[in-house]
Structures are given as C-alpha cells and as structure tokens.
Structure 1
Amino acid sequence: MVVAAGGRSQEVVERFFQRRGIKRKIALRVAHFLGVPLIVAASDLVATVPWAVARDSAEMSPRLAVALPPFDIPGFELKLHWHRRFDNEPRSRWFRDLLVQVFQEDRRSTMPPEPRGERKRTKTGT
C-alpha cells in the first residue's frame, strides 16, 4: 500500500528504493494516512509510513505490528516560505513562530527508536 498524498515526500522513498533495486508490488494507493491502519489491520497488506503514524496506529489496534526496515530510509526537510512583504507583519510572524515551535517540540516524538543489533550504523553508514 502506498499513500499518494499531495506534495513530494513520497518521491524520497521511491527514489531510495529505485537506487537500491528494491521493487515493490503496490496493490493499493490511498490519498492519506488516515485509512492506512484500518486497511492494513483488515488485510495482508503492509505499508511504509512515518514512524509516528506506525507507532500511534499500533497503539490503537492490537492487529497491527510495527517493524523498522533493515535499512535506513532517508527523511526529508520541511521548509516554511512566505512573501517578503509579510516579514514583519505581526500575525504572520506569530503564525510562523508557532509552526516552528510545534514542529520542534514534535520532532522528538516522531523519530523512531535508535537502531539495535544488525541495524546499528557505523561511521561509514553500514
């Protein structure tokens, strides 16, 4: 199952798999992450989703299991853009500051646990 949400974040994962010659058999495409836990729990499908989605979904359903992949999948960077004329506009500045704060606070809770055993990374990335 693949989440074909708007934006380009899925391209990071797709390019990663392509470069490593990993071919997936995609049986289903969904528009957002909301339905993924229900579909996976009621089928034999698997989904590659962000850690926070997997963790929270597994907490809600005993039928779901979470496994880290045997390799590191790259993340992606979120950026905030605005028109220059709003640089000093108080409401816009407040909202930008709020977004930065929320994403900084949430970052720790959305990161997977440190890899253990055979997944442990060395300085060379292996």
Structure 2
Amino acid sequence: MNSESPREASEIVAAEWRRILEMSERRIDPAIPRAAHAHPRLGELFPMVSHGALYFSRCTQYPWTHDVAALFPRPGGFHVFRHSDKTVLGEPDTVEEAVGLIVANLPDGCGPAVDGNPDDL
C-alpha cells in the first residue's frame, strides 16, 4: 500500500472529479458526472470517462476495480452495467435513477477510494 494518507487519496479523487466535471459535452453528457458526483458515496470513488460512459474505481491506480457499476448513456435513458460479473443492473430513464441503481449495488465494504491498486484494498 502506498504511504500516502487517506486525505491525499481524497485529493486525488477530488482532482479527477474536477477534471471530469469540466469535460466537454463531446466527451460526456455533463448531467452524468454532475448527478454521480452529487451522491456522497459515488463522489468518494475514483471516476473515469470512456466513450461517453462514466466508470468508478475503488482505487486511484491501474488496474482499476470493476466491481462498481458503470453508467452508459443510451437513446432515451441509461444503461447500468457491472463489468466484474457482467450484470446489467437496469436501464433507467433518468440519470438520477441510474445513480440510485449504482449506489444500491455498491460492493460490501465499499468506502472512499484508496491511493493504490486493487491489491491495496
């Protein structure tokens, strides 16, 4: 495990959230990270964006964890999918419902992201 304190890990997470919240609409619909970041449990996880989808990791370094569901936009709504076990959690119509699905299905013991990789959890 890295010798950094939890506060430093939270600063890494906060800096990445700031970067994502400022991204262009071409990268991600701004409503997605805004809604996710507004939820305290998701705002403490490490966020990532790829192809318009929002992913979360319980650690700040590669390889990322895949046990927290990701939020994908789809026509008319959202697709919530957990990569670790290839589970579709739902296809809600609103981003708030999608965030709620992710939070309701967080892994046991999921807390703030740690500065490290999955071996450090």
Q: Same fold (TM over 0.5)?
A: no
TM-score normalised over the length of structure 1:
0.27
Higher relative contact order (CA 8 A, sep 6+): 2
**Quick check: which has more Rg, 1 or 2?**
1
